[in-house]
Amino acid sequence: MIDSILLIDDENLFHLVFEDACSLLDITLNLKTLSSADEAAKYFKNLVETKQKKPDCIFVDLNIIGSTFNGIELIRKINFDYGDGVVIGIISSSNDKQEQTNAMKAGAQFWIIKSDEIEPRLSEFKKDFDGFVKRKLKFKVYA
């Protein structure tokens, strides 16, 4: 079980899908959801500055409507600007190879394709989670 997860996605319906999937698959009991990248950046910066406990894993949507920057830029900020190597990756309906390369360079560790088959992918991710924490696994796409 992952202690805590942060999901950043502008689609509120997907928040519900993700929450139920995480509960059914025993992935986490502590899920926090945010709807914009700007909000997430502020939230994370505050966590770092006040030395509070950070989430163990962060899932970021690729295109977050209503934000000034996209998911990949948010990942770069969290890794390079706020100085934190958390387990972080993209969850998106896109399977674009170029975007996946950009995400990898920004420090993302995984890319999960959103669809109605989300449960098997999350289940596989749960098994790989330890490998991501220890930085033993390379960038992986769950398609």
Partner 1 sequence: MNFYIKNNIYITMENINDYISNSEELLKETSLISKADKFGKITYANEKFCEISGYLFNELIGQDHRIVNSGVHNKEFWRQMYETIIKERKLWHDTVTNKNKSGELYYVKSWIQGVFDENNNFSGYISIRQDVTEIIKSKNEIDRKNAYLEHAAKILRHDMHSGINTYIPRGISSLERRIPEHLIKEYKLEFPIKMLKEGLSHTQKVYRGVYEFTNIVKQNAELTKSLFNLKEILDDFFRTTAYKDQVIIDNLPTIFVNDALFCTAIDNLVRNGLKYNDSDTKYVKIYMENDCLIVEDNGRGIDCNEFDYLSKPYTRKVGQKESGTGLGLNICVEILKIHGFSVSCEKLHKGTKLKINL
Partner 2 sequence: MIKLNEETKKVLLALSDDKGIYLEGNILKIIDTSDDPTFDAYIKQSIEKDNEKRTKRLEITKQVQEQNIELIKSKGEKDEVNKQLQKALEKAEQAKESAVNDLELMQKKAQFELIGTIVKVALWIVCGIGVVTTGMFMICLSLGIENQIIESAWSNMFGILLTNSFSIIGTIMGVKYASDRLDKKS
- The residues of the shown chain that bind partner 2, judged by CB under 8 A, are 11, 13-14, 16-17, 20-21, 23-24, 26, 29, 116
Provide the pairing of β-strand 57-60 with 5-8: parallel
Rounded least distance, CB 26 to partner 2, Å: 7
> Using CB under 8 A, which residues numbered 78 to 117 contact partner 1?
79-80, 83-85, 104-107, 109
Nearby residues of 140 by Cβ (< 8 Å), 6 or more positions away: 109, 110, 111, 128
The residue among 42 and 135 lying less far from partner 1, judged by its C-beta, is 135
42 sits near partner 1 (criterion: CB under 8 A): no
The residue among 44 and 129 lying less far from partner 2, judged by its C-beta, is 129
Nearby residues of 37 by Cβ (< 8 Å), 6 or more positions away: 8, 60, 64, 67, 68, 69, 70, 71, 73, 74
Rounded least distance, CB 132 to partner 1, Å: 9
- Phi, psi dihedral angles at 14 (to 5 degrees): -70, -30
The residue among 27 and 78 lying less far from partner 1, judged by its C-beta, is 78
Q: Are residues 8 and 71 in contact, defined by beta-carbon separation less than 8 angstroms?
A: yes
Q: How far is CA 142 from each of CA 9, 13, 92, 122, rounded to the nearest angstrom?
A: 18, 21, 10, 8
Per the document, the length of the chain is 143
21 contacts which partner out of partner 2, partner 1, none, CB within 5 to 8 A by kind? partner 2
Rounded least distance, CB 110 to partner 1, Å: 10
| Residues that bind partner 1 in the complex, under the rule CB under 8 A | 79-80, 83-85, 104-107, 109, 134-135, 138-139
